[in-house]
Amino acid sequence: LDFENARERQFNLTVSVEDLDFSSVAVCLIEVEDSNDHSPAFLSQFVQTNPVFEDVPVGTTVTTVRATDKDSDLNGKIIYSIKSESDPMRQFVVDQFGHVVVASALDREAIQKYALIVQASDQGTPARTGSVTVLINLLDINDNGPRFEAPYMPVVW
């Protein structure tokens, strides 16, 4: 049985019994319930965003990801999150719609590129998950002045 196949969600059975003297008929309706047998799935395993300038304002959406789950009700309701080990400084967040958003100021001199692992988890018991890696390259801006490599020490002869 497969709940996701609409023709397999309900069955009507007619059961009849008879002997020499009596007969009886019972009509049974069998309804198939969904089980959490599908994980959320993304269209691809990797998403490459357009390059992002390091001074992009906090709150800017850099990309949107979307997962689908063939299950119904809570078994198919998706919650997005970013795996903390892929963004230890928590510079990005993902909202309920899959928008990947800048959460704090970026600095290309500190981190040049990100490989965020966005997870989609359903609300079944137990929950099932799928993931996509979002690749973000930062573009430099002229935010640092020149510096001498060593302190200035004039020599007079």
CATH superfamily of 41-139: Cadherins (2.60.40.60)
How many Cβ atoms from other residues are within 10 Å of residue 92's Cβ?
A: 21
Which value, in Å, is the radius of gyration of the alpha carbons in the chain? 28
User: Domain residues of the chain, as ranges?
Assistant: 41-139
> Per the omega criterion (within 30 degrees of 0), is the bond before 51 cis?
no
Q: Choose among 68, 86, 85: nearest CA to 77.
A: 68
Give pLDDT tens digits for 70-83. 999 999 999 999 99
Residue 50 has pLDDT above 90, yes or no: yes
Q: Which residue has the tokens 């909202």?
A: 95
Which two structure tokens, joined as six digits, stand for 127? 């929950």
What proportion of the chain, given as a percentage, has pLDDT over 90? 79
Which two structure tokens, joined as six digits, stand for 13? 């059975």
Average pLDDT across the chain, whole number: 94
The reported pLDDT for the residue numbered 157 is 80
What does the alpha-carbon distance between residue 77 and residue 15 come to, in Å, rounded to a whole number? 38
Which two structure tokens, joined as six digits, stand for 30? 């069998």
Residue 14 has pLDDT above 90, yes or no: yes
Write the secondary structure of the chain as one string of H (helix), E (strand) and C (coil).
Answer: CCCCCHHHCEEEEEEEEECCCCEEEEEEEEECCCCCCCCCEECCCEEECCCEECCCCCCCEEEECCEECCCCHHHHCEEEEECHHHCCCCCEEECCCCEEEECCCCCCCCCCEEEEEEEEEECCCCCCEEEEEEEEEEECCCCCCCCCCCCCCCCCC
Band (23; pLDDT cuts 50, 70, 90): very high
The reported pLDDT for the residue numbered 148 is 83
